[in-house]
Amino acid sequence: MTTPEELRSTVIPDWCPGCGNHAILMSVKGAIADLGLDPKDVVLVSGIGCSAKTPHYVKTYGFHAIHGRALPVASGIRLANHQLTVIAHCGDGDCYGIGMEHFIHAMRRNVNITVLVHNNQIYGLTTGQTSPTSDFGFKTKSTPGGSIERGVMPLILAIGSGATFVARGFAGNPKHLRGLIAEGITHKGASLIDILQPCVTFNHVNTFAWYRERVYDLKDAGHDPTDRARAMEKALEWGDRIPTGVIYRTERPPLDDLVPALAQGPLVKQPLERDIRPLMERFY
């Protein structure tokens, strides 16, 4: 069985000291180890941003895509070989900004991938501009007078788009996050875990201390994640109290189970040479 330490790659993380990404990295490796997954059967996919460096730091397969395109790449990998465990790492700007259309459709299609969004409510890699999840009035170098836009609500969008597993984690509680990631990986269907990830360098509002005063565990509160209406209420909750844990969970066939060609096994293991004449005759 692989241990988290054995999943450490030779590349040294260069995130800022204290960055929430360190805890997310630790939690991901812990979840992979807890589930007994073989590293050769795991693929981490990322887009662009601080979070996108994650595949470089884990000794599994990895694919570093372009900005906003982690989810179509992850979906393609899963459909090409549905025996792989595919985990996408995105930032809030990466997934909820330029990649929003891919996010909504990945949830709608219920692609069997796990999407981890490192949500720091700011553009960290480009040194601190307002992101799609920044709160109204948030002051940054791009909004010195305060943001005049409302932040997107990704949990609501995910549930409304058809995701079958929606959760929120906090980088300040890596043990809890590790369990959530493991749950998301084992769930059959599209799993979103939106992770509150403080940016210690550029976001001086949504800090570890700020979150610790507000976050609470839904399991302790007796929340029923199968109640969609109640899940919507919890997904809207933000401010003095911020829920963490599984917001919504339901079951429906993932896309992999609905594609007839995949019933014969992973596409990458099927023969390339096929007689297409019956197909041509059918359409001509």
CATH class (in words) of the domain with range 5-283 = alpha beta
81-92: average pLDDT: 96
Are 197 and 118 in contact by the 8 Å Cβ rule? The answer is yes
Query: What band does 269 get if pLDDT is binned at 50, 70 and 90?
Result: confident
**Closest to 195 measured CA to CA, from 178, 209, 210:** 178
In percent, the amount of the chain with pLDDT more than 70 equals: 100
Mean pLDDT across the chain: 95
Structure confidence at residue 186 (pLDDT): 98
pLDDT at 272 over 80: no
d(Cα 82, Cα 239) in Å, to the nearest integer?
A: 39
d(Cα 258, Cα 273) in Å, to the nearest integer?
A: 23
pLDDT in tens, 90-102: 999 999 999 999 9
Structure confidence at residue 92 (pLDDT): 95
Query: What band does 175 get if pLDDT is binned at 50, 70 and 90?
Result: very high
* Residue ranges of domains in the chain: 5-283
User: Residue 39: left (phi > 0), alpha (psi -120 to 50), or beta?
Assistant: alpha
pLDDT in tens, 63-75: 999 999 999 999 9
The pTM (predicted TM-score) of the whole model is 0.93
Residue ranges of E strands in the chain: 42-46, 61-64, 85-91, 114-119, 122-123, 129-130, 165-170, 191-196, 215-217, 242-249
Distance, CA of 74 to chain centre: 11
